[in-house]
Amino acid sequence: MPERKSGRKPASAAASNGGRGQRTGAGKTAGRAKTASPAKAASAAKAAKAASPAKAASRAKAVSPAKAVGPARAGRTAPAAPRLDVRKTYKLFVGGAFPRSESGRSYPVTGPDGALLAHAALASRKDARDAVSAARKALPGWSGATAYNRGQVLYRVAELLEGRAEQFAAECVKAAGVSPGEAESVVAGAIDRWVWYAGWPDKIGQVDGAANPVAGPYFNLSVPEPTGVVALLAPPEASLLALVSVLAPAIATGNSVVLVASETAPLAAISLAEVLATSDVPGGVVNVLTGRSAELAPVLAAHMDVNAIDLTGAAPADRAGLERLAAGNVKRVYAAGAGWVAEDWAATPGLARMLAFLETKTVWHPIGT
C-alpha cells in the first residue's frame, strides 16, 4: 500500500524551525513568511543585525581608540602641534591684588634696542589714592607685628627670590641689555641685599634706641617707631638690586609702602610684586604702581595720609616742587635737594635708609612701685 502522507513535520524539521512548526504546518509557516510586511521584515533584520555578537564586536573594533587617535604607528610619537605663547598681562599691585588701572590705560615698555617687551598698566591719580588707602589699612598689623616676625617674613621673600632667580636674570637681560653673566650677578646681589635687611628688624631698636640717664627717679627710654605710609619713587634703572635697596629698608622698619616703579623699566618691580603676593607679606604692606612718575609723584607728595616720601627716582628738575608739596603735612623727605647724587647700589648699604623712616618716641616711667 502507498504510504499515507501526513501534514506534520518531522521532529528534526520542527527543531530547526525554532519550535514554531510544532503548532503550525509547513504551509502555514511559509504563508506567514510570504504575507509579512516589508517594514516588519526590515525591522526584524535590523534587530538580528544588532543582536549578532560577531558584528557588535566588529563594530567596536571599527571605533577602536587607537585608530581614532591618529595615524601614529607603534614605536612612533605624533609630532606636537605648534602652540601660542601665553602673553603676560602686567597689572598694578594694590592691597595684595592685581587690578588693572581704573582708567583702562596702558603704555608700551621697550628694551634698550627698541624691541617691545610688554604693555604695562598706566596708573592714574585715582589708583595712587587707592594704593595709599590700602597701605594705611595694612599699617597697624605690619607695624604691630614683632620685629622678629617681620624679619622672618622678609627672609621668606628672599627664599622665593632665590627660586625665581633665572626669571629675574632673563628679564634683566631684556630690560637692561646686559650680558647673562652680569644679569645673574645683579640678581644674586639683590637676593643678598634682601637677606641683609631681613636681619635688621629686631636689631635696629638697639642701634637707634637708648636708655637715657636723667636726674630723677625715672626710666627714660628712646624707642624707634615706624613713620607710617611711605611713598617711594623707584630709581630709573632696570636693576633689581636698585629696586630692592629702596624698598627693603622701608618695610624692614615696619612701614607700609606705595612704590612708583621706574617708568622706562617697570618689569622688575611687577615681577617682585608677584613674589611678594605669594610670600607671607600681608596684602597692602607693599603696593606697586606703574606709569608716569611726573603724574603720580605730585599726588603722593601732596597726599595728607602719606607720612614720608623718597625722591630717589624723581627728576632733578621736579625735586623742589615735590618738596614744597610734601611740606603740606610736614612729610619726611629723603633724597632731598636738587644736588642730591644717586647712590652706588653695588656698595655695602648703611643704616641711612632705615633711619630715615623711623621716628623716635621717648617714654618716661617712674622707678619703683
d(CA 218, CA 198): 34
d(CA 302, CA 363): 31
- Could you tell me the CA-to-CA distances from 148 to 154, 201, 253, 303 in Å, in that order? 10, 7, 11, 31
- Could you tell me the CA-to-CA distances from 359 to 184, 198, 223, 226, 272 in Å, in that order? 37, 20, 8, 6, 28
Instruction: Give residue 216's pLDDT.
Output: 86
One-letter identity of residue 246: V
Instruction: Give residue 15's pLDDT.
Output: 40
Instruction: Give residue 51's pLDDT.
Output: 46
Task: Give the CA dihedral 46, 47, 51, 55, nearest 10 degrees.
Answer: 0
Question: Mapping DSSP to helix (H, G, I), strand (E, B) and coil, where does residue 289 land?
Answer: strand
- DSSP string of 16-68? HTTTGGGTS-HHHHHHHHHHS-HHHHHHHHHHHHHH-HHHHHHHHHHT-HHHH
> In what side-by-side order are the strands of the sheet with 218-226?
210-212, 218-226, 358-366
For the record, the C-alpha cell of 164 comes out as 625665581
Mean pLDDT, consecutive 10-residue stretches, the chain (369 aa), reads: 45 42 41 46 48 46 46 63 82 96 93 92 96 98 96 97 95 92 96 97 92 88 94 92 96 97 94 95 97 96 97 91 94 83 88 94 84
Rg (CA), the chain: 40
d(CA 75, CA 89): 41
Cβ pair 307, 227 in contact under 8 A? yes
d(CA 45, CA 20): 19
pTM across the whole model: 0.76
Instruction: Give residue 73's pLDDT.
Output: 55
Closest residue by Cα to residue 168 from 196, 188, 153, 154: 188
Cβ pair 306, 300 in contact under 8 A? yes
Closest residue by Cα to residue 191 from 163, 168, 161: 161
Distance of CA 168 to the CA centre of its chain: 14
Beta bridge partners of 118: 109
Please report, in angstroms and rounded to a whole number, the separation of the first and last CA atoms in the chain.
Answer: 148
